[in-house]
Amino acid sequence: MTRDARELGSAWMTFQRHAFPSPSPDLARYVERYWVVSWNYREPYRQLIVPYPNVHLTFRDGVATVNGVSSGHQIKVLEGSGGVFGVAFRPGCFRPFLRASVSTITDRSMDASEVFGCPTRPTWIPSSGF
């Protein structure tokens, strides 16, 4: 398999936008960072996701998902125009919301309503930035 030329020399930056807004002071105790990614690809792109020791709450395509800590790299296929808004919780700070050991969701994703007990449809969807 040959490498996608968009992987080389940071060429992917032509197709993606990233932002890392700071959390509000009242949430900074729990939230390490917010992150926003938008993309515009005519052809599918296999994005390598590097694991971090954080639980993430993500909003994409009108769906809110809790993503446990990943024990390895992942590949996400990005195509067309889209975006995701994420909340990276500080290590150890998601347990009060989960009401269980965070290790129980390692390498797992679940609908955020399973954790927060209410519909978690976002009212704000990030623009693609393109």
Q: Of 49 and 8, which is predicted with more confidence?
A: 49
> How far is CA 13 from each of CA 6, 83, 97, 128, rounded to the nearest angstrom?
9, 14, 35, 14
Residue 125 near residue 62, CB atoms below 8 Å = yes
Tell whether the model's pLDDT for residue 62 goes beyond 50. yes
Domain hosting 44: range is 14-115
- In a domain, residue 7? The reply is no
Q: What are phi and psi of 56, to 5 degrees?
A: -120, 140
Q: How far apart are the first and last CA of the chain?
A: 30
Task: Locate 38 and state its tokens.
Answer: 């938008």
CATH number at residue 40: 2.60.40
119 has a pLDDT exceeding 80? no
pLDDT > 70? residue 120: no
Task: Kindly tell me if the per-residue pLDDT of 129 is higher than 60.
Answer: no
> In which order are the strands placed within the sheet that holds 56-60?
16-19, 31-49, 74-89, 56-60, 63-67, 109-111
Measured in degrees and rounded to the nearest 5, phi and psi for residue 106 equal: -60, 130
H helix intervals, 14-104: 95-98
Would 8 be classed as within a structural domain? no
What pLDDT score does 47 carry? 86
Q: Mean of the pLDDT values across residues 26-40?
A: 94
* Band (12; pLDDT cuts 50, 70, 90): confident
Asked whether residue 2 is domain-assigned, the answer is: no
Asked whether residue 23 is assigned to any structural domain, the reply reads: yes
Structural domains counted in the chain: 1
Query: Is 50 exceeded by the pLDDT of residue 24?
Result: yes
So what's the pLDDT on residue 130? 42
**Each residue's pLDDT tens digit, 71-99:** 999 988 889 999 999 999 999 899 999 99
Examine residue 90 and state whether it is found in any structural domain, yes or no: yes
